[in-house]
Amino acid sequence: MDNSAGGWLPAVETFAKGTFATAAALGTVGMGLLYYGQNYLIYPSAFPSGSREEVAVPTDYNLDYDSLELQTPDGVTLRCYLLVQHKDLGVTKVGATHIDEDVDPDLTDNEFIASRPTVIMFHGNGGNHGHRIPLARVFYLKMRCNVLMMSYRGYGLSDGSPSEKGFVVDAQTALDYLLSDPLLSQTSIILYGQSIGGAVSIDLASKNPDKIAALVLENTFMSMRSLIPSAMPLLGPVSFLCHQRWDSASKIPRIPASVPILMLSGAQDELVPPEHMRSLFELVVARKGDKMDNEKVKFAEFPHGGHNDTCAQPGYWSVVADFIAGLGDRTAAKAKKAADAGGSML
């Protein structure tokens, strides 16, 4: 009996060693795939099917636009859309807000363009910027904003492959374009970011604190590493391997307290727990610096909003419109500057 039991022990020991070695090997391979393949998980630019080949254009929605090709410093071509305002837009476009009574009749069309805010739209990680044209339409027609619809590298018809480092370059390239334009550089620049686009917006504002008039952030997160345990539970134990960090929590304090921020959260968000937005808002409120106007720092939660449909919730666009309208003093100052410089505009 003892000899028989003793005979089993080496076999069990060998099996255990083999199992451990196999598990270790698979674990190593799995971690390697996670480390090197995480960009495919975080940036599903081909989803839904056809998103890299089929991109809607604003004229599909009765909107005039310019195809804007931006060349990044590292040689990537980004194929974006630019929608520029016109003074008589309320007459020529169905659904446009008539704001002519609030406009100085002596302003030229160019001066009117410069008097309106410019919104840079940074979309989420799925689909392409063409899918967000209905959102741009609200900014353009209802709020009378100029709109730059960003197409990241590796998304839509833009060249390159997506990454955090690349997106940061893309965002800066878009802002630099606006700042170099004789007309649009006179406008108040507002960043609108959804999900990962919120992280892009926060990063850009933190690096250009005196160039951004305001931020509107929807369903974004504290950091990618802190999001993984809820978004991809099986990968939670190895979230430290995530090199696409998007650490917004560390960047919010670098945005001056004088910069207004609106945060829009879907209480039923199934991808980014609403606690992320609340925690970011606490950081927003805690910013130190010159004159934070609490009236221009707002948090709006939509009880039935999910990750992808918060923007379709009742009251969402009213909150956004009121927030942008509340920037009036800043926009008015820009308008005066633009009017004074009218003779040098294109």
CATH of the domain at 280: 3.40.50.1820
Q: Are strands 214-218 and 261-266 parallel, antiparallel or unpaired?
A: parallel
Q: Is the pLDDT of residue 19 over 50?
A: no
How far apart are alpha carbons 342 and 346 in whole angstroms? 9
Give, in order, the Cα–Cα distances in Å from 130 to each of 79, 116, 126, 148.
11, 23, 11, 12
Among residues 111, 135, 115, 114, which one has the least CA distance to residue 123?
135
Helix (H) or strand (E) holding 137: helix 133-137
Helix (H, G, I), strand (E, B) or coil at 44: coil
Q: Is the pLDDT of residue 191 over 60?
A: yes
Q: Give the mean model confidence (pLDDT) for residues 6-22.
A: 46
- Span of 47-51, 90-94, 168-172 with lowest mean pLDDT: 90-94
Q: Is the pLDDT of residue 29 over 50?
A: no
Q: Does residue 52 share a domain with residue 31?
A: no
Q: Does residue 51 share a domain with residue 38?
A: no
Do the beta carbons of residue 158 and residue 77 sit within 8 Å? yes
pTM of the model: 0.85
pLDDT tens sequence across 142-182: 999 999 999 999 999 999 999 999 999 999 999 999 999 99
In the prediction, which pLDDT does 18 show? Answer: 44
Please give the tally of structural domains in the chain. 2
Helix (H) or strand (E) holding 264: strand 261-266
Q: Does residue 337 share a domain with residue 264?
A: yes
Q: Does residue 222 share a domain with residue 120?
A: yes
Q: Does residue 167 share a domain with residue 20?
A: no
Average pLDDT, the chain: 85
Q: Is the pLDDT of residue 48 over 50?
A: yes
Catalytic annotation, residues: 195, 269, 307
Residue 1 binned pLDDT confidence (cut-offs 50, 70, 90): very low
Residues 6 or more apart from 238 whose CB is under 8 A from it?
Answer: 31, 34
| 182 preceded by a cis bond (ω within 30 of 0) | no
